[in-house]
Amino acid sequence: MTEQQATATPIVDDTNHNAPTTAATAPAASPTATTPSGATATEPANDGAEHSPILTLDNVSYSYVKGGKKVIRDLSYSFESGRVYAITGPSGAGKTTVLSLLSGLTSPTEGRILYRGQDLAKTDRYRFRSHDIGVIFQSFNLLPSLSVEENIILSMDASGKQFDRPKHDIAVDLLAKVRLAQEYANERILHLSGGEQQRVAIARALSYDPDIIIADEPTGNLDMSTQDDIMAIFKDLAHQEGKCVIIVTHSPDVAEQSDEVFQLAALRKR
Amino acid sequence: MFIVKNAWRSVVRNKGRNILIVVIVAIIAAAATIGLSIRDAAQTARDEGLANTEVTATISLDRDKLISEAKQNGDSSSDSSNSGNGQPDFDAMRSALDQSSLSLADYQKYAKASSVNVTTYYSEETGVSATDNFQPVETSTSSNSSDSSSSATSSDSGDANGDQNQPGGQGGQGGPGGSMTQGDFTLTGFSSDKAIANARNGSFTMVDGKVFGYDSDSDGQAIISKSLAEFNNLSVGDTITVADPSDSSKTYTLTIVGIYKNSSSENTTASGPMGGTSQDAANAIYTSVSTLKSLGLDSDTTSSSDSSTSTQLNFTYVLGSKDDYETFSQDVKNAGLDDTYTVSSTDVEQYESSLVPLDNLAKFALTLLIIVLVVGAVVLIVINLFNIRERKYEVGVLTAIGVKKAKVAAQFAIELLIVTMIGIALGVAGGAAASVPVSNELLAQQISSQQSEAQSQQEQFGRSADMGGPNGGGQAPGSADSGSSSDSGNDSNESGDNAPGQPGGLAQATNYITTVNATVNFKVVAQMILIGLALTLFSALVGIISVIRYEPLQILADRS
């Protein structure tokens, strides 16, 4: 486990954004965000360019109704490529809300969310969702009337990316990756079990090669061995392919296997 | 591009619902197609029916108006002298009526005033009496009935002739109030072949000899009916002598150049005892206006010479189309025709009344169209709304994975468009197959309701006179073709049946348009596609609005 990066130095990266925006965010990082090692989020660390934050929460607050009760308050955190993050916390701490914010499904009422230094509120969040981030929803959100392959290809189509191989081949490879037999490709989603659907949802999230994978309780419906399979996939994605993997979970096991844990405190206590 | 693929997949996947929509849309489209094609055909019939058909028009006196004007003048001018006894001022009225006669020159002036191309023909009709060696065809031997007819009764008959007995499209009242036909024979002068073709007694054929010419070289030539020739044992080349009805010493000699036979003699004896023998078609002597003039019997001479014999002038304008007729009416008004005269056309009137069932049908078609489209729009919107509510989750998922709302909405619109276009295609095909028989069936119903109305009027009156009944068609003499226009038969199907029938008898025949050519043409198909597109987009709009309202987070949160 290493400390979260909050660097003030200019970042040398191949991305097309400016580092100074992220630099300003670091000192204001939330004191509630702690790593399992006990290091605070504000602790500076500089492990190199590969640890530059890809997604940053910058003093984010959110309430469902304008001026209403805040579900989360002044949250700051930075996520880096090549690491697996676990977001944990008791019920009502705002885990799902943080996920929604990170995946660009909604905008914070206060503060900013930065993707590669760009304010998500000012960019095309549809493009962000379809192109840069893969979300594995708690309830999978697959289209039941479509087949497994159609669901996967739909996301690939929606991303607008060009693929160097036929989409069918990519889909079959992904199914193999999540350990589903090739016959599943033409199966309707409705005919699959919860665990199978979960794996299809993961395959879909990976299909268009996003920079960030966000998973909401990805192991909730799975037995222990499958859970380990899935976690192995996530760790591979982060450590081998350099993705940023963010997992929202209740499970201490999952948190244990993550590189970093982002603990959300229940709001009442604050 | 993938939204089109998705839309197509979605259409294929939801077969049941889409087949339902196709059926509904097809029914709507079929009904709308029939409605549109009926309206289209009715419009075509209206536009083309008299567009290239000659229309005859006459200028006639509006007696009611004239009398009421005379009354007003009389009331205002002679308050003290005359109104005291409450009697109408008969003299003033008679003189008003008398002054109102239009002369040949007047008629010709109006023809010149017209801005549209107008040809004219006219006939002059007067009465002449028998002489010893030339007797009228009649059943009773007393040939004096005409002499005994007072001016009052002959004036009545004049009225009757003018108002009801509009002879074959050439009305016109040259001799207002005066005695029109006295004597035993009707001597009619015609200005041209066309005038003869539209003779009051209907069309005729020559059995011997040929028709006289119209220039002064042919003066004195006349043709007589076959019955009259046989009755007097005359043949072509013989001469006949007739007398002035008011002065038997004054005789006129005519040479018979031809003998004709009326095509429809059965209708032309209908004037009853009042008319005398001169009203019998058999006793009609036809000659040219030039001959009448040379004999001093033309309308100008008789009206100026104050002779008791007056000649009635029937002046007819022939116009190229109904539009021309309307222009002509206006031009004539502008040229200073007193507003106690009206320009009228039996062709147009006939045509208008023949269009009544078709107009009713067109109105019905419009109602049908509106109802069908409104119901169709409502049904489509409801189905679409339910459809999209049902697919709220799909909208949520699609937007959550980053498909833009506009694309989702477009996908739904395309889905609906695919389905409705299939429905429209089927409906237009079905409507095209059904429109001709259905519209003719509907038209037949309209006609029969129109006819039963006429029927009930007949029952009320206890006779069949004066009501343009369905059986009037049989009475329309062949002059319809030769007279009004020979190309009326060439018109499209719908107007072929209504070449304005020219009634020979009392009844004014109305040949309703009995078939309507409601074939579906390209225009109707294009209209249908436009309507379908509009309906689809309109109902899709409702769906789009509900898509826009959804936030993906909200939908997904609802779900979990």
* pTM, to two decimals: 0.62
Question: How many domains are there within chain B?
Answer: 2
3-state SS, residue B343: strand
Asked if A129 and B400 come within 8 Å (Cβ–Cβ), the reply is yes
Structure tokens at B203: 């069309």
The answer to whether residue B514 is domain-embedded is no
B506 conformational bin, left if phi > 0, alpha if psi -120 to 50, beta if neither = alpha
Q: CA-CA distance, B367 to B359, in Å (whole number)? A: 12
pLDDT at B165: 40
Question: How many domains are there within chain A?
Answer: 1
Distance in Å, alpha carbon of B395 to nearest chain A alpha carbon: 10
The answer to whether residue B78 is domain-embedded is no
The answer to whether residue B381 is domain-embedded is yes
Which amino acid makes up residue A202? I
Q: Which of A99, A123, A141 to mutate to test the interface with B (most CBs of B within 10 A)?
A: A141
Residue of B nearest to A143 (CA): B394
From the list B9, B396, B553, the residue facing A100 with the nearest CB is B553
Asked if A128 and B402 come within 8 Å (Cβ–Cβ), the reply is yes
Q: CA-CA distance, B554 to A66, in Å (whole number)? A: 16
Asked if A137 and B556 come within 8 Å (Cβ–Cβ), the reply is yes
Q: Are A127 and A201 in contact (CB under 8 A)?
A: no
β-pair partners for B222: B256, B287
Helices (H), B356-481: 356-390, 392-400, 405-461, 479
Distance in Å, alpha carbon of B560 to nearest chain A alpha carbon: 6
User: Quick check: A101 pLDDT over 80?
Assistant: yes
pLDDT at B557: 62
Q: Are B103 and B287 in contact (CB under 8 A)?
A: no
Distance in Å, alpha carbon of B417 to nearest chain A alpha carbon: 21
Instruction: Give B357-390 pLDDT, tens digit per residue.
Output: 778 888 888 898 899 888 888 888 888 888 888 8
User: Quick check: A86 pLDDT over 90?
Assistant: yes
Asked if A137 and B9 come within 8 Å (Cβ–Cβ), the reply is no
DSSP state of B84: G
Q: Which residue has the tokens 């009801």?
A: B164
Q: CA-CA distance, A57 to A26, in Å (whole number)? A: 10
Which H or E run contains B43? Answer: helix B15-49
On whether any CB of chain B is under 8 Å from the CB of A150, the answer is yes
Q: B287, B315, B343: which is the final residue of a domain?
A: B315
Give every residue of chain B whose pLDDT is below 70, as ranges: 49-52, 63, 66, 69-101, 138-182, 264-279, 299-310, 457-458, 460-516, 518, 553-560
Q: Which of A132, A154, A189 to mutate to test the interface with B (most CBs of B within 10 A)?
A: A154
- A chain contacts of residue B402, beta-carbon cutoff 8 Å: 126-131, 158-159
Query: Could you tell me which residue, B55 or A233, shows the higher pLDDT?
Result: A233
User: Quick check: A259 pLDDT over 80?
Assistant: yes
Q: Are B462 and B476 in contact (CB under 8 A)?
A: no
Q: Are B308 and B134 in contact (CB under 8 A)?
A: no
User: Quick check: A204 pLDDT over 60?
Assistant: yes
Q: Do B277 and B418 belong together in one domain?
A: no
Q: Rounded to 5 degrees, what are φ and ψ at B150?
A: -75, 170
Asked if A141 and B402 come within 8 Å (Cβ–Cβ), the reply is no
The answer to whether residue B199 is domain-embedded is yes
Q: Do B361 and B245 belong together in one domain?
A: no
Structure tokens at A149: 């392959």
pLDDT at B484: 36
User: Within 13 A of B366's CA, how many CA atoms are on the CB side?
Assistant: 9
Distance in Å, alpha carbon of B543 to nearest chain A alpha carbon: 19
The answer to whether residue A5 is domain-embedded is no
Q: Which residue has the tokens 């009844």?
A: B507
The answer to whether residue A28 is domain-embedded is yes
Q: Which residue has the tokens 């992904």?
A: A174
Which H or E run contains B325? Answer: helix B322-334
The answer to whether residue A49 is domain-embedded is yes
On whether any CB of chain B is under 8 Å from the CB of A154, the answer is yes
A195-209, A244-258, B172-186, B189-203: least confidently modelled range: B172-186
User: Quick check: A246 pLDDT over 90?
Assistant: yes
Nearest to A268 by CA among A23, A59, A73, A5: A73
CA dihedral B179, B180, B186, B189 (to 10 degrees): 140
Residue of B nearest to A97 (CA): B553
Domain membership of residue B229 as a residue range: 120-315
Residues of B with CB under 8 A from a CB of A: 2, 5-6, 9, 13-14, 394, 396-404, 551-553, 556, 559-560
Instruction: Please name the residues in contact with B103: beta carbons below 8 A apart, sequence gap of 6 or more.
Output: B299, B300, B303, B313
Distance in Å, alpha carbon of A36 to nearest chain B alpha carbon: 30
Long-range contacts of A60-64 (CB under 8 A, 24+ apart): A60/A101, A60/A108, A60/A110, A60/A111, A60/A112, A60/A113, A61/A108, A61/A109, A61/A110, A61/A111, A62/A94, A62/A97, A62/A101, A62/A106, A62/A108, A62/A109, A62/A110, A63/A109
ipTM above 0.95, yes or no: no
Q: CA-CA distance, B188 to B209, in Å (whole number)? A: 18
- A chain contacts of residue B556, beta-carbon cutoff 8 Å: 105, 137, 139, 141
From the list B5, B13, B400, the residue facing A105 with the nearest CB is B400
Q: Do B153 and B226 belong together in one domain?
A: yes
The answer to whether residue A11 is domain-embedded is no
pLDDT at B289: 83
Q: Do B165 and B281 belong together in one domain?
A: yes
Q: CA-CA distance, A203 to B3, in Å (whole number)? A: 21
DSSP of A117-143, one letter per residue?
TEEGGGS-HHHIIIIIEEEEBTTB---
Q: What is the 3-state secondary structure (H, E, C) of A241-267?
A: CCCEEEEECCCHHHHHHCCEEEECCCH
Number of Cβ within a 10 Å radius of residue B209: 18
Q: Which of B401, B407, B411, B548 to mutate to test the interface with A (most CBs of A within 10 A)?
A: B401
Q: CA-CA distance, A79 to A85, in Å (whole number)? A: 8
Which H or E run contains B252? Answer: strand B247-262
Q: Are B328 and B114 in contact (CB under 8 A)?
A: yes
Q: Are B196 and B142 in contact (CB under 8 A)?
A: no
Residue A79's pLDDT band, with cuts at 50, 70 and 90, is: very high
User: ∠B201-B204-B206 over CA atoms, to 5°?
Assistant: 140
- A chain contacts of residue B396, beta-carbon cutoff 8 Å: 141
pLDDT at B276: 60
Q: CA-CA distance, B349 to B503, in Å (whole number)? A: 12
Residue B441, exposed/middle/buried by CB under 10 A (0-12, 13-18, 19+)?
Answer: exposed
On whether any CB of chain B is under 8 Å from the CB of A23, the answer is no
Asked if B9 and A105 come within 8 Å (Cβ–Cβ), the reply is no
Residue of A nearest to B2 (CA): A157
Nearest to B26 by CA among B425, B406, B326, B445: B425
Number of Cβ within a 10 Å radius of residue B221: 22
Instruction: Please name the residues in contact with B453: beta carbons below 8 A apart, sequence gap of 6 or more.
Output: none
Asked if B402 and A130 come within 8 Å (Cβ–Cβ), the reply is yes
Q: CA-CA distance, B380 to A79, in Å (whole number)? A: 49
- B chain contacts of residue A120, beta-carbon cutoff 8 Å: none
Q: Rounded to 5 degrees, what are φ and ψ at B400?
A: -65, -40
Q: Are A110 and A61 in contact (CB under 8 A)?
A: yes
Residue of A nearest to B396 (CA): A141
- B chain contacts of residue A146, beta-carbon cutoff 8 Å: 9
Instruction: Give B6-39 pLDDT, tens digit per residue.
Output: 889 888 888 888 998 899 889 988 888 888 888 8
Q: Do B295 and B378 belong together in one domain?
A: no
Domain membership of residue A184 as a residue range: 20-269
Q: Are B251 and B131 in contact (CB under 8 A)?
A: yes
Which amino acid makes up residue B396? G
Q: CA-CA distance, A113 to A140, in Å (whole number)? A: 24
Q: CA-CA distance, B156 to B178, in Å (whole number)? A: 9
On whether any CB of chain B is under 8 Å from the CB of A79, the answer is no
Instruction: Give B49-59 pLDDT, tens digit per residue.
Output: 666 677 788 88
Distance in Å, alpha carbon of A7 to nearest chain B alpha carbon: 31
Q: Report the CATH number at residue A50.
A: 3.40.50.300
Nearest to B511 by CA among B545, B469, B556, B466: B469
The answer to whether residue B262 is domain-embedded is yes
DSSP state of A6: -
Q: CA-CA distance, B428 to A240, in Å (whole number)? A: 62
Asked if A130 and B401 come within 8 Å (Cβ–Cβ), the reply is yes
Asked if A137 and B6 come within 8 Å (Cβ–Cβ), the reply is no
Residue A6's pLDDT band, with cuts at 50, 70 and 90, is: very low
pLDDT at A247: 92
Q: CA-CA distance, B454 to B357, in Å (whole number)? A: 13
User: Within 13 A of B171's CA, how many CA atoms are on the CB side?
Assistant: 24
Asked if B401 and A138 come within 8 Å (Cβ–Cβ), the reply is no
Distance in Å, alpha carbon of A42 to nearest chain B alpha carbon: 31
